[in-house]
Amino acid sequence: MGKKEILVLEDLLGSNNKIAADIRNQLTQKGILTINLLSSPGAGKTTLLEQLFTFLHPHYKMAVIEGDIETERDADRIRAQGIPAWQIMTGGACHLEAKMIGRLFPEIPPDLDFLFIENVGNLVCPASFDLGEHLRFVLLSTPEGDDKPKKYPKAFLTADSLVISKADLVPILPFDIDRAVREAEGMNPHLRTFITSSTTGMGLKELAEFLISRLKELRKNHA
């Protein structure tokens, strides 16, 4: 028996990142703006999408990929609005990976304007996996507390946009919006912040306008 040492120097996320780059490239060519939504469970990702669609529908074509450990519940809610949705059941895994999106890719209509990927509810693990998105949104709901950005740094450091959800509850909660936003933007100066409520509609029009402007930018740059 002989011993041999091999210098490898390979990134563990290298294969995921390669698939993600390929997905992003294809989505860019097709002009489909893709958004990966991250948050803890119950922050209101599905409800935000349902409400956002009322601003985008029927002028824009959308579809949603739902990531959950079990059940088709979220996909059913989206389909009830007449929006195509695919449910990825991870069967225990705490995050989505690029290869899971890649498997669905042939089914995604090429004439979409927006593709939303609702990640598994978890502020930790999904932050490490690029899915090929153009924009990463992190939702922070007011009942979770305003101290979360520094406790879960990677989600906030890798996001393009911070969406404070359930902002209508601020009068009855000890949640300081300024503190949360200051902390998150301090960590990531590129964050674009939206203060929203899916119950009252606060901030949703601005969010929809932001997405439309980014869609136009994507198509202008790759026309």
Catalog residues that contact another protein under the rule CB under 8 A: 1-13, 15-16, 93-95, 97, 124-125, 127-129, 153-154, 157, 186-187, 189
Distance CA 111, CA 163 (A): 27
In angstroms and rounded to an integer, the radius of gyration of the C-alpha atoms of the chain is: 18
CB of 67 to another protein, least distance (A): 13
CB of 154 to another protein, least distance (A): 5
Residue type, 66: E
Nearer to another protein, 97 or 118 (CB): 97
CB of 129 to another protein, least distance (A): 8
Nearer to another protein, 27 or 96 (CB): 96
Distance CA 68, CA 203 (A): 26
156 and 58 Cβ atoms separated by less than 8 Å: no
CB of 155 to another protein, least distance (A): 9
Nearer to another protein, 11 or 178 (CB): 11
Nearest alpha-carbon partner for 108 in 15, 168, 30, 37: 30
* Largest distance between two CA atoms of the chain: 72
156 and 139 Cβ atoms separated by less than 8 Å: no
Nearer to another protein, 127 or 207 (CB): 127
